[in-house]
Amino acid sequence: QSALTQPRSVSGSPGQSVAISCTGTSIDVGAYNYVSWYQLHPGKAPKLIIYAVNRRPSGVPDRFSGSKSGNTASLTISGLQAEDEADYCCFSYAGSSTSFYVFGTGTRVSVL
Amino acid sequence: EVQLVESGGGLVQLGGSLRLSCAASGFTFSSYWMNWVRQVPGEGLVWVSRINSDGRRTNYADSVKGRFTISRDNAKNTLYLQMNSLRAEDTAVYYCANYVEGTAHFDSWGQGTLVTVSS
């Protein structure tokens, strides 16, 4: 099971919007509406940002949003803030005929 | 407040063994699937293993199958990962995370414990 493909890095100025893509296949991202996104800061616990493609846990700012089209999911951060600088990793359920779960390659978001 | 605290990481020689633990609190541990996920510094997350709520069903990534064993003690609210025949490529930060079945996502994570396999 290959990792989902994400851009290595994206960047934006404060207040701008950035989008991170997460490309899988028809047996993972394309097959299920079970894409989630996690924010990673070094030395800290990963944090759930989006689940089930576009649902936001309580406490996550509404500037984070998720979507999916075909085999590609996306995370958009609108109104970028300095504290959004982190790594972001997508995840998809991949079914019992494969290795069940697959993560993305990870994207570093830099706030210029 | 949900807390997951991993322990047991450290420096181990090639071919050696290590047992990781994950102490859970703040949620009904015995109701959740639990998982181990690892991250090589600078790289993405990789799923390692999962165990169902009563401990009877387990699954592993191909890369660790036959070498790692996941288990849990619901009376102690603790998850374990026994790692044997360790390889250099097992060097990573290991996280435990609880998993919500209905929407297939990892809800809460620990801060991780670093495992370094040296030759």
What's the pLDDT tens digit per position in B10-65?
Answer: 999 999 999 999 999 999 999 999 999 999 988 899 999 999 999 999 999 999 99
Report the distance separating Cα A71 and Cα A94, nearest Å. Answer: 12
Taking residues A69-94, report their average pLDDT: 96
Query: Comparing C-alpha atoms, which of A35, A40, A42, A34 is closest to residue A21?
Result: A35
Report the distance separating Cα A22 and Cα A98, nearest Å. Answer: 19
CB A53 within 8 A of CB A67: yes
Contacts (Cβ under 8 Å, ≥6 apart) of B71: B51, B55, B58, B79, B80, B82
Of the pLDDT bands very low, low, confident and very high (cuts 50, 70, 90), residue A98 is confident
Distance from CA of B43 to the nearest CA of A (A): 7
B43 contacts A104? CB cut-off 8 A: no
Four-point Cα dihedral B95, B43, A77, A58, nearest 10:
0
Structure confidence at residue A28 (pLDDT): 94
Q: Which of B35, B45, B58, B65 to mutate to test the interface with A (most CBs of A within 10 A)?
A: B45
Structure confidence at residue A9 (pLDDT): 96
Q: Which residues share a beta bridge with A71?
A: none
pLDDT of residue A1 exceeding 80: no
pLDDT of residue A20 exceeding 90: yes
Report the distance separating Cα A14 and Cα A17, nearest Å. Answer: 9
CB B111 within 8 A of CB B6: yes
Angle made by CA atoms B93, B39, B53, in degrees to the nearest 5: 80
Contacts (Cβ under 8 Å, ≥6 apart) of B91: B40, B115, B116, B117
CB B47 within 8 A of CB B35: yes
Structure confidence at residue A70 (pLDDT): 97
Q: Which of A88, A101, A105 to mutate to test the interface with B (most CBs of B within 10 A)?
A: A101
Average predicted confidence (pLDDT) for chain B: 96
Structure confidence at residue B43 (pLDDT): 87
- The residue ranges of DSSP E strands in B33-112, in sequence order, are 33-39, 45-51, 58-60, 68-73, 78-83, 92-100, 105-109
pLDDT of residue A34 exceeding 80: yes
For residue range A56-68, what is the model confidence (pLDDT) as tens digits?
A: 999 999 999 999 9
Report the distance separating Cα B20 and Cα A44, nearest Å. Answer: 18
Report the distance separating Cα B38 and Cα B48, nearest Å. Answer: 7
Of the pLDDT bands very low, low, confident and very high (cuts 50, 70, 90), residue A35 is very high
A6 contacts B44? CB cut-off 8 A: yes
For residue range A67-78, what is the model confidence (pLDDT) as tens digits?
A: 999 999 999 999
Structure confidence at residue A56 (pLDDT): 97
Report the distance separating Cα B14 and Cα A66, nearest Å. Answer: 42
pLDDT of residue B73 exceeding 80: yes
| Closest CB to A48 among B47, B50, B105 | B105
A36 contacts B109? CB cut-off 8 A: no
Of residues A98 and B97, more confidently modeled? B97
Structure confidence at residue A17 (pLDDT): 96
B44 contacts A48? CB cut-off 8 A: no
